[in-house]
Amino acid sequence: MAGKLIDGTAIAAGVRQEVAGGVAAMAARNRRVRLAALLVGGTPAGGLYAQRQAQACGDVGIEYQLVQLSGQTTQRQAIDAIDRLNGDAQVTGIMLHLPLPAQLNAIELQYRIDPLKDAEGVNPANIGHVVYGKTLIAPCTALAVLELIRSTGVSLIGAEATVVGASEIAGKPISLLLAEQMATVTLCHLATRDLRMHSARADVLVVAVGKPGLIGRDDVREGAVVIDVGINRVKQADGSRKTVGDVDFDAVREKAGFITPVPGGVGPMTVAMLLKNTLRSASLLQSIR
Ligand code: NAD
């Protein structure tokens, strides 16, 4: 029997509704929720993404402020821009669009964002809080993965969870949040000797690598929860392009208990978690002001 589809779009809609309620409650107390997004350089993809983000914020009542800097911006100028947003009482959340032009150091800029305004949860202070089990604001993709697993009703306590991919933005924070939920976590990466040995015994398998078809039917345990974070544009036989994940969806769905589609799984949920984090930032700031 085919595994149940985890409908990220529908679950994200529920989160957005919840966020809209929270933003309205803040507004009723004359508190604004405003996300400032820093976009450096002018690629069409970046502009389109910012436009979609503005729409997503507008839909839940979050004010959106796009701060556009030229592609020639120096590190000093980018730091100054972040410092201005950190000091602006009207701004309650800040995010930095990636990728950045080559002359800029993304990590240094992420370090600079006030941890309380860190809507993407990328400041190391916030990652550190996750390590200590005192999460303030966690990375959006990791939160999205956790919410999607929760939606299945499968308990993480004592579960074997394998995370494939160990980046700072996806795999590592995902494995931290899973460990916080009392799963037994295995983190696999490029140097893992026998990936299948780890993936095929997982009750919960999260794949965040960026390689289409990396996980096939034999790599998955019968009845597992499979969360596909990967986003890959692939060329089809007729020359057109489509977006797929890292998991061979049709083959794995036959065996999995639950599975996320790509698109329509982790992607929309990550956007919803950015909105939720933005509301959380505003509430945290309110509680300390
Ligand atoms: P990355 O390139 O920074 O990291 C990839 C990781 O995969 C590394 O840890 C590497 O060691 C590991 N890896 C590479 N080949 C492997 C293999 N054969 N076996 C096991 N591990 C292997 O990538 P990233 O930024 O973490 O992104 C990963 C994928 O997730 C990409 O497709 C990206 O587009 C997608 N992504 C999606 C979202 C979302 O919201 N849906 C968010 C972030 C990233």
Tokens of 180: 């916080």
Does residue 266 line the site of ligand 1, with CB under 6 A?
Answer: yes
Does residue 126 line the site of ligand 1, with CB under 6 A?
Answer: no
pLDDT of residue 138: 95
Q: How far is the CA of 61 from the centre of ligand 1 (A)?
A: 32
Nearest CA to ligand 1 atom 32: 210
pLDDT of residue 133: 87
Instruction: Give the residue among 209, 179, 214 at the shortest CA–CA distance from 196.
Output: 214
Does residue 165 line the site of ligand 1, with CB under 6 A?
Answer: yes
pLDDT of residue 166: 98
Among 193, 198, 215, 229, say which to mutate for ligand 1: greatest number of ligand atoms within 8 Å of CB. Answer: 229
Does residue 170 line the site of ligand 1, with CB under 6 A?
Answer: yes
Q: What string of pLDDT tens digits covers the 289 residues of the chain?
A: 788 999 999 999 999 999 999 999 999 999 999 999 999 997 888 888 899 999 999 999 999 999 999 999 999 999 999 999 999 999 999 999 999 999 999 999 999 999 999 999 999 999 999 999 888 999 999 999 999 999 999 999 999 999 999 999 999 999 999 999 999 999 999 999 999 999 999 999 999 999 999 999 999 999 999 999 999 999 999 999 999 999 999 999 999 999 999 999 999 999 999 999 999 999 999 988 7
pLDDT of residue 48: 87
pLDDT of residue 289: 75
Say how many C-beta atoms besides its own lie within 10 A of residue 125's C-beta: 14
pLDDT of residue 248: 98
Match 């507004």 to its residue by tokens: 27
Q: What is the dihedral of CA 8, 14, 20, 23, to 10 degrees?
A: -90
